[in-house]
Structure 1
Amino acid sequence: MIRSDYRKYKRYGGNFIGIVFLTQAFWAIIQFRVASFVYNEVKIFGVRHLLLGICLIWQKLIEVTTGISLPASVIIGRSFYIGHFGNIFIHPNCCIGNNCNISQGVTIGISGRGVERGVPTLGDNVYVGCNSTIVGKIVIGDNCVIGANSLVNRSVLENQTVLGVPAQVVSSKNSSEYI
C-alpha cells in the first residue's frame, strides 16, 4: 500500500528525497499504513498491544507535527494522496476508497441523531477540496468532486460535483481531471 501511495506522489512530480523526507502528508500516510497493518493483522496478544501503543504515540507525534489525524482503524484504499498538510481530521470509523485525493483543512466525521448518526463512506477516485467537511451516515459515490469550503451532509451519487453549504450538485463532471 505504501508503494502505491508513493507512486501517486511521484506521479504528481515529486522525487524520492522530496517525498520521503520533506512531504509531511506522506509521513502521515506512512504512519497510518504501519499502524493500520498492526491494527488489522497483528493478533498476538502482548505484541499487538505493545505495537498499538507505540503506533498511538507515533500517530500523536505526526498529528502535532503535521496537523493530520489518520487513526489506525480508518479504512483507506490504495493510492491515497494528501495534497498539503494541515488540519485534516478523519473519524476512526470512516471508509475511503482507492485513488482518493484530500486537500488541507478537510474534516470527515460523525454527525446525525438516532439511526441517522454515523460516518461517511467515500467511493473510489473522490477528490475532496480544501476546507471541506463531510459528515453523517452518507455515501459519496465513485468519481465525485467535493468543492472547496463545502459542507456535505447528504449522500452524493457517482460522477457528481458538489459545492456549497450545504453542498448541492453543480455539475455532472467527474473527478478525472482532479486525480
Structure 2
Amino acid sequence: MGRFASDIKKYKRYSNRNGLILLLTQQGLWALLVYRINNKIYRSKLPGFMKRIFLFFGLFWQKYIEIIAGISLPYSASIGRSCYIGHFGGIIINANAVIGEDCNISQGVTVGVSGRGTDRGVPTIGDRVYIGANAVVAGNIAIGNDAVIAACSLVTQAVAAGTTVAGVPAKKISDNNSSAYIQ
C-alpha cells in the first residue's frame, strides 16, 4: 500500500488530521483506495482467471464509489503517488489516462478522450500538476510537469512545463508554476 500511504500523507499535509479520520471523511481517499487496490490487482502477475474474478468484484466496488462519491477512477488508468482529490464529485478520468506523481485534481474535472484520426487519444499529465475545478483536459496531448490548469478551462493542446493555462480553449497566461498550489 505504498502509493496509498503517500496519498494519505498528502491529505494530512493539507488538513493536519489523523489518517483514520481522513479515510472516514474524504471521498477522494475512498476513490483512491478502491483505485489503488484494483490497479494493483490489474497490474499483478496473478493468473488471468483469478485476476478477472478479483477485478469483477473490484468493478462493483468502483461503481459503488462512483455513485456515492461522484469520482470515476478506472483501475486501468495510471495515477502516480501522492494524488490529491480535494472535493466531492464530478471527476471522470479516462481508463487510458496517465497522471503523474503529486498531482491535485479538483471537483468537476474530466480527463478524457478527444480528437480525430491520429490526434485521437487521452492526455498524459506530468508530475506536480494542478487541475482546477471544472477543467476538461482531452485529447492525445502532454501536460508538462509543474503546470497549472485554471478552473473552467478546456485544454486540447499540449501545455509546457511550469506554465499556467486558462480559458476556452486554454491558452498560456503566465509562467507561474504549480508550487503555490501543491503542498
Identity over aligned pairs, percent: 49
Tell me how far 1:70 sits from its aligned partner: 0.2
Moved over 6 A (4+): none
SS at match of 1:134: strand
Q: Which residue of 2 aligns with 1:52?
A: 55
Q: Which residue of 1 aligns with 2:11?
A: 9
Instruction: Say whether residues 1:29 and 2:4 are aligned partners.
Output: no
SS at match of 1:142: coil
Unaligned runs of 5+ in 2: none
Tell me how far 1:42 sits from its aligned partner: 4.1
TM-score by length of 2: 0.96
SS at match of 1:7: helix
Structure 1 residue aligned with 2:84, among 81, 84, 91? 81
Unaligned runs of 5+ in 1: none
Query: Aligned partners of 1:128, 1:163: CA distance in 2, in Å?
Result: 11
Q: Which residue of 2 aligns with 1:90?
A: 93
Tell me how far 1:133 sits from its aligned partner: 0.2
Q: Which residue of 2 aligns with 1:172?
A: 175
Query: Aligned partners of 1:98, 1:17: CA distance in 2, in Å?
Result: 23
TM-score by length of 1: 0.98
SS at match of 1:46: helix
Query: Aligned partners of 2:83, 2:125: CA distance in 1, in Å?
Result: 12
Instruction: Say whether residues 1:102 and 2:105 are aligned partners.
Output: yes
CA deviations over 1:119-169 (Å, ceiling 9, x no partner) = 000000000000000000000000000000000000001000000000011
